[in-house]
Amino acid sequence: MTNDVIKEAVAKQQSGDRKLVADNTILGKVMTFNIGEQVYGIEIQHVVEIIGMQRITKVPHVPDYIKGIINVRSKVVPVIDIRTRFGKPEIPVTSHTCIITLSFNETSVGIIVDNVANVEDIHSSDISATPENKNVNTNAFIQYMIRSDDNSEQTKLILDVAKLLDEQEA
Amino acid sequence: MAKIEPGMEAMLDMYFFETNSLLEQLDEILLRTEQANAFDSEDIKEIFRIMHTIKGSSAMMGFDNLSVLAHKAEDMFFVIRENPELVTDVSFVYDLVFQVSDSYKAQIEAIQNNVGGEYEQFNFDELIDKLLKAKDKLSGEAIGEAPAAEAAPAAAAPASSDKQKTSVRVFFEDGCQMENLRAFLLINTIREECSFLEYYPADVETNPETSKEIIEHGFLITFSAEDNQDYILKQIETALNVQSYEVLAAPTEAPAAEAPKAEIPPEPAKEAVQAAPENPAATPAPTESAIEKAQAAVANAAAQGGSQKQSLISVNLAKLDALNDIVGEIITTESMVISNPDLEGLELESFSKAARDLKKLTGELQDTVMSIRMVPLSGVFQKMNRIVRDMRKKLGKDVEFVMEGEDTEVDKSIVDSLQDPLMHLVRNCMDHGIEENVNDRTANGKPAKGTLKLTAQNSSGEVVITVSDDGAGIDPEKILAKARRQGVLTKPESEYTVKEIQNLILLPGFSTNEQVTEFSGRGVGMDVVKANVEKCNGTIVVDSKKGEGTTFTIKIPLTLAIIDGMEISVGDIVFTVPISTIRESFKVEPEQILRDTDGNEMIMLRGICYPILRMHEKFGIETEVTDLKEGILLLVETDNKSMCIFADKLIGEQQVVVKPFPKYLARYDIKGEGLSGCTIMGDGSISLIIDTNTLIG
C-alpha cells in the first residue's frame, strides 16, 4: 500500500466528509502482534515468515536492540528486539515469543515479538493519522493507526517498515 | 541515437554473450595465426563462420551497422577462402580484422549501456570502405595469380556446362546428424575434380534446416567430370557417413550396370579415415594431398568438433548462486536430521547406514556445485595477449608474450574482477617496463626482443598470478625522488627498504612516467590495481631489479566463497579463523607471560615477543575462561605482522562457506573490528569469521 493511499484515507477521515468516509474499501492486510499490552501491525506484503525463537548469535559493536544474527534457511538475518528498540524492558522468552522476518528493499530483518495475533483487513474508514508528539520514542516508527469503530478492539499501531529498517541511528 | 527494436530486449543478453564469445574466439584465432603468419584453411573457415554468425544475429537484432560490417568482413574472407594460395602477405588483413573486432566490441558496449533502449550508433563507413578495398586488392591478386579456369568453381562453371552431366542422389547414415554439413564437406571433397558442380539444397553450409530435407529426399549432386567420373563416384561412396547413393542421369556412354544402386558396407567411417593414407597409389597424384586433407578434416569434425561444442551450455550466474544456496541448505538440514536430538540413545543400524550414504552424496553434490563455478583463466589471458599485440604495434617494441598455466581454474567472480588489474599491469609492463630503445637492452646483455610473461598457478588454496617483464626495472632513486616531491613519505627516507620503495608505486596518484600516453602514465592505475585485488581478498607485491625487470605477484584466494577455517569458541560464541593465517596453537604457562609498562600481555616465543589479544575482552563476551592457562593461544600472522589470540578452546577444522554480514548491519563498523563475515555451521548455528588482518592492525 502506498503512502499516498494512506494519506488520502487519513485526509478523508480528517475532512469529516460523511460521503467520503462511507466509501469503505479494503486497502490491504496487516499482520498484528503484541508487545506487552499494545497491539501493533505490519502490512502483510513486508512479512516474509514467522519463525519460532531460536539461538541468536551475538554480533559485537552494534546497538543493544540488535540482538544478533540468525540462520533462516541458509540466509543470515539480523534480529531486532522491538521491545528494546521502543525502550521497553526485556521480558523472558515464552513459548509464544517468535521472530517475524520482514523484507523491505531487499533488506531482511527479523523482529522479536511477544506473540503473533492475527491477520486482518485494513478498511479505509478505520485508518487515522498518528497524534503528534504523544510518545516520541515509538511514534517515529508508526505509520498510521487502525481504530475499531465500536471500540470493541484496541487501536492498532501500524509500523512503518521503511523507517524501522532504514533509519539511521535515531 | 538509435533504438533497440522493441521485443528484442529479451534476446539481448543472449546476443551479447554469443557475440562476445565469438569475438573472443576470433581474437584467439587471429593471434595464433598471426604468429605463424599464415591462415590454414580450417582457420579461414572458422573466421568465415564467426563472421557469418555475427552477421546473422546482428541482422536479427536489428543492429544494421554491425550486420553490414560483418558482411563486408565476410566478403573479404570469402576471397581468401576461395584462394587460399594467396595468403602470402596478409598482415593488413590482420589489422583490419582486429579493427572490426574492436569496433564490434565498442558498439556492443554502447548498446549494453543503453538508456531506455536508446544507444549511440557508430558509423563504420570508413572501416567498411577499407574492407572493400582490401577485398578488391585480394581478388585482384586472385585473378592475377590464378588462371581463370581454376579461380573459383562458380566462374568456371558456365564454360564447361555443355559437358556430360551426372546426377547422384546421396543418402547419409541414419542419425549421423548435421547432414547439411556432411553434405557440404562431401561437395568440398569432389569440387576440385569437377568442371561443373551443382547441388540441392544449395545452402547446406549455412542453413541447418536443410538437414531435414537431406534426410528425407537425399542430397542431390549434379556434376560433370572430364575423365574421372568413376573416381568421383568412388569418392562419394567412401565419404564418411554416406549410407548409399544412386546415379540418376548417367552419361550415355557409361555402362548402365555401374549405376543403379550401390550399397556401401556398414563401416564406411573407418574406411574413409584409413582410405587416404593406405592407398595413395590408387588416387590420382595431383589431388592426393587435397583429398587427404579433406578426409582428415571430415574425420576430425566427426571425432571432436561436433560433440565438443554441443557439450557446453551457458548458465546465468544468479542461477548458480541460487543452486549454491540450496545445496548449503540441504547440507545444513541434513545434519539437523542426522544429529537430531530425538534420535539420541537409539540403536538405529539401518538409519545410520542410510545417513552415511546421504552424507557422502551431499558431499559430492557440494563439490560438484562448487566446481561448476570454477572457470579457467585462459579467457582473461587471451585478452592480455591481444593487448600486448596492439601495444607492440603502436609502441614499436618487439616483445614476446609468454603465457603459463592459463588453464588454472578460479571462481567466476574472481576471474571477472581480475581482468582490470591484469590489464593495467600488462600495459604498465609494455609501456614503462620494456625499454624504448633496443640498444639499451643489448647494452645490458639482454636479447633485443623483450619478454612479457603471464603465469598462473595454484598453491594451497590460493591462485598466484605473476606479470613479469625483462625490461628496465624500477629505479628506487627515481621513485624516492618522486615520492619526496609528492610528499607521500611517512618516515625518514633512510629507513625505507628497496622493497618498500618499490611498493610505493601502488599508492594512488603515483606515476613515474614523464609523458602521459594513450596507455598509461596518468597516475591512476596502480592504485586501482591494488584496490581491485584487495577487493577479492588478495594481495599484490612488486619485485624489481633495476636493469633486469619487474615482477608483479598477485595472490588471490581460489574462491571468495569457501575458506578452510579453524573453529574456536569464546563464551557461547564460535569464531572461525582462516587456517591460512594460523601458525600454531598452544597452551601457556603463566610464567611465559610478560607485561609491558601499560600492563599489556605479551608472550615470548623462540626469542620473538608477540602481543596477546583476549578475544572475550575484544568482543565483550562473557566467558568462564579468563585465565590464560585454561584457554588456548593461537599465533596468527598476515603480511608479516603477527600476534597471539586467546580463546576458550579449539573446536575443530572445517571448510566454511563465507557469507557477508546482512545489509542491515552494514552501517555498523563490524568489519573494522576484525570480522570479515559469518558462516553457517553444520548444526545450523552461525559462526563469525575473523579477519586476521584488521584484527591485528
Q: For A98-142, what is each residue's pLDDT tens digit? A: 999 998 877 889 999 888 888 888 877 777 776 665 555 556 777
Interface contact flag, A76 B619, Cβ < 8 Å: no
Chain B residues near any Cβ of chain A (below 8 Å): 325-326, 328-329, 332, 573, 618-621, 659, 661-665, 667-670, 673, 675, 678, 680, 684-688
* B676 contacts on A by Cβ (under 8 Å): none
In B212-270 the beta strands, taken as DSSP E runs, fall at 219-225, 242-247, 261-263
In this prediction, residue A132 carries a pLDDT of 63
Closest CA to A126 of A7, A9, A4: A9
My answer on whether B406 and B523 are in the same domain is: yes
Closest CA to A36 of A134, A117, A139: A117
* A101 contacts on B by Cβ (under 8 Å): none
* A164 contacts on B by Cβ (under 8 Å): none
Interface contact flag, B685 A55, Cβ < 8 Å: yes
Q: How confident is the model at residue A79 (pLDDT cuts 50, 70, 90)?
A: very high
Which residues 6+ apart lie within 8 Å of B697 measured at CB?
B641
Strands B686-690 and B573-578: parallel
In this prediction, residue B522 carries a pLDDT of 45
- Within a domain: residue B654? yes
Domain end point (choices B326, B353, B369)? B369
Percent of chain A with pLDDT strictly greater than 90: 9
Domain end point (choices B146, B176, B201)? B146
Helix-helix angle B210-217:B179-191, to 10 degrees: 80
CA distance B330 to chain A (A): 9
Interface contact flag, A71 B328, Cβ < 8 Å: no
Q: What angle do CA B263, B264, B268 make, to 5 degrees?
A: 160
My answer on whether B540 and B428 are in the same domain is: yes
Q: How confident is the model at residue A55 (pLDDT cuts 50, 70, 90)?
A: confident
- At residue A153, does pLDDT exceed 80? no
In this prediction, residue B255 carries a pLDDT of 41
- What CATH number has the domain bearing residue B69? 1.20.120.160
In this prediction, residue B48 carries a pLDDT of 79
* A109 contacts on B by Cβ (under 8 Å): 662, 664
B168, three cell numbers: 547422384
* B688 contacts on A by Cβ (under 8 Å): 57, 59
- What CATH number has the domain bearing residue B237? 3.30.70.1110
My answer on whether B219 and B332 are in the same domain is: no
* B684 contacts on A by Cβ (under 8 Å): 71
* Best A46, A54, A58, A59 residue to mutate vs chain B (most B CBs within 10 Å): A59
In this prediction, residue A103 carries a pLDDT of 87
Interface contact flag, B325 A74, Cβ < 8 Å: yes
Enter the DSSP assignment of B115. B
Element (H, E) at A12: helix A3-15
* A62 contacts on B by Cβ (under 8 Å): 665, 668, 670
In this prediction, residue B143 carries a pLDDT of 55
From B661, B663, B673, residue closest to A107, measured CB to CB: B663
- Within a domain: residue B312? no
In chain A, the residue whose alpha carbon lies closest to the alpha carbon of B329 is A74
My answer on whether B359 and B468 are in the same domain is: no
In this prediction, residue B259 carries a pLDDT of 40
Range of the structural domain that residue B663 is part of: 562-696
My answer on whether B604 and B691 are in the same domain is: yes
Report the C-alpha gap between B422 and B383 in whole angstroms: 10
* B665 contacts on A by Cβ (under 8 Å): 59, 62, 66, 69, 78
Question: How many domains does chain B contain in total?
Answer: 5
Interface contact flag, B573 A71, Cβ < 8 Å: no
- Within a domain: residue B352? yes
* B561 contacts on A by Cβ (under 8 Å): none
Determine contact, residues B551/B481, Cβ cutoff 8 Å.
Answer: no
In chain B, the residue whose alpha carbon lies closest to the alpha carbon of A66 is B665
- What CATH number has the domain bearing residue B386? 3.30.565.10
Query: Quick one: CATH architecture of A3-166?
Result: Beta Barrel (2.40)
Q: How confident is the model at residue A78 (pLDDT cuts 50, 70, 90)?
A: very high
In chain B, the residue whose alpha carbon lies closest to the alpha carbon of A67 is B665
In this prediction, residue B149 carries a pLDDT of 38
* B661 contacts on A by Cβ (under 8 Å): 59, 69, 76
From B332, B664, B685, residue closest to A74, measured CB to CB: B332
Give backbone dihedrals phi and psi of A121, rounded to 5 degrees, phi first: -75, 150
My answer on whether B265 and B285 are in the same domain is: yes
At which residue does the C-alpha cell 546482428 appear? Answer: B58
Report the C-alpha gap between B376 and B383 in whole angstroms: 13
Residue spans of the domains in chain A: they are: 3-166
Q: What angle do CA B365, B369, B375 make, to 5 degrees?
A: 145
My answer on whether B140 and B45 are in the same domain is: yes
- What CATH number has the domain bearing residue B574? 2.40.50.180
Residue B657 CB burial class (10 angstroms; 0-12, 13-18, ≥19): buried
Report the C-alpha gap between B640 and A133 in whole angstroms: 57
Enter the DSSP assignment of B510. -
The mean pLDDT of A147-166, rounded to a whole number, is 76
Across all residues in chain A, what is the average pLDDT?
A: 78
In chain A, the residue whose alpha carbon lies closest to the alpha carbon of B327 is A74
How many angstroms from the chain centroid is the CA of residue B193?
Answer: 42
* A63 contacts on B by Cβ (under 8 Å): 668
Name the stretches of chain B with pLDDT < 50. 145-162, 250-291, 294, 297-299, 301-309, 514-516, 518-523
Kindly report whether the global pTM for this prediction surpasses the value 0.80.
Answer: no
My answer on whether B486 and B623 are in the same domain is: no
pLDDT in tens, A17-53: 555 555 677 778 889 888 888 888 898 988 999 998 8
Interface contact flag, B678 A69, Cβ < 8 Å: yes
In chain B, the residue whose alpha carbon lies closest to the alpha carbon of A169 is B667
**How many contacts, defined by CB atoms under 8 Å, are there between A and B?**
72
* Best B661, B686, B690 residue to mutate vs chain A (most A CBs within 10 Å): B686
Interface contact flag, B669 A61, Cβ < 8 Å: yes
Domain end point (choices B306, B326, B353)? B306
Element (H, E) at B649: strand B649-657
In this prediction, residue B568 carries a pLDDT of 92
Interface contact flag, A165 B664, Cβ < 8 Å: yes
Interface contact flag, B670 A60, Cβ < 8 Å: yes
Interface contact flag, A76 B685, Cβ < 8 Å: no
In chain A, the residue whose alpha carbon lies closest to the alpha carbon of B688 is A59
My answer on whether B406 and B480 are in the same domain is: yes
Report the C-alpha gap between B316 and A141 in whole angstroms: 39
* B678 contacts on A by Cβ (under 8 Å): 57, 69, 76
In chain A, the residue whose alpha carbon lies closest to the alpha carbon of B685 is A71
Interface contact flag, B686 A60, Cβ < 8 Å: no
